[in-house]
A = this chain, B = another copy of it.
Amino acid sequence: MIEKRQSIGNDASSRMTHAERTDLSDTLMFEAAVSLIVEKGTEKTTLKDVGETAGYSRGLAGYRFGSKGGLFNYVIKRIGDEWSQELRSVTEGKTGYEAIAASIDAHYQFCVDAPITRRAFYLLWFDAVSTTSDVRESMIRIHQRRHQDVVKWVQDGIDDGSVKDTVDAEAVAQLFLATVIGILYQWMLQPEAIDAVRQLHENLKQTMQVLLVAQP
């Protein structure tokens, strides 16, 4: 159960600049939203709950984000950015199979740690399929960026000779991403089956190695 924040006005809350106030309320509502989404699902998360859990009025979330979709879109963008950065730092300087393996390992680690933001992100991710809103557009853009990253890893691998030059970078990237999504689906549907998730990541790594790296 998520507790309602008692008041924002503790200590240094008075005398804040406008920007600081919105930053604070944005963050508090973001955190409230993430908790509520993970606890009750997107359907049963209400704007009223988000506002009140964050310690504000029932109306603020709706006012700030315009709609439920607007809130979710904000949450996706915020987590997506954080996530892109982490992924980038993990694969920094790596190419080809090495980069892909690193990204798979990082992915698996996320499933093990199961940070609340990541779970919320994937919930919204799969939700995006059935909506027609901005959320969907944001998702498509995120996936496109991901795709470009993977293509680059593979292409760089081909260029530096660590990847077979017969490999179709686009094709492999697509297949890789599809599988990652499928694994995440499996994880979200049955988080308790972490063994299966671990094995899936291992198998994906092996498969990618077979597909990318020249055989002796």
**Copies of this chain assembled into the complex:** 2
Question: Which applies to chain A's interface (DSSP): helix, strand, loop or mixed?
Answer: helix
By beta carbon, the residue of chain B nearest A208 is B207
Provide the bound-state CA to CA distance between A123 and B36, in Å: 23
By beta carbon, the residue of chain B nearest A179 is B179
Q: Decide if B123 touches A129 in the complex (CB within 8 Å).
A: yes
Contact with B along A40-55 (1 / 0, CB 8 A): 0111000000000000
Assuming A123-B129, A123-B130, is B175 touching A179 (CB within 8 A)?
Answer: yes
Shortest A109–chain B CB gap in Å is 18
Q: How many residues of A contact B (CB 8 A)?
A: 40
Residues 158-184 (chain A) with a chain B CB within 8 angstroms: 171-172, 174-175, 177-183
Provide the bound-state CA to CA distance between A199 and B175, in Å: 9
Provide the bound-state CA to CA distance between A122 and B126, in Å: 11
Provide the bound-state CA to CA distance between A136 and B41, in Å: 12
Q: Decide if B175 touches A204 in the complex (CB within 8 Å).
A: yes
Cβ of A104 under 8 Å from chain B: no
24 A-B residue pairings within 8 Å (CB atoms): A41-B130, A126-B126, A126-B127, A126-B185, A127-B129, A127-B130, A129-B189, A136-B189, A143-B186, A171-B203, A174-B186, A174-B200, A175-B179, A175-B203, A177-B182, A178-B179, A178-B186, A179-B182, A181-B182, A181-B185, A182-B183, A182-B185, A207-B207, A210-B211
Enumerate the 3 nearest inter-chain pairs by beta-carbon distance, A residue then B residue, closest first.
A178-B182, A182-B182, A181-B182
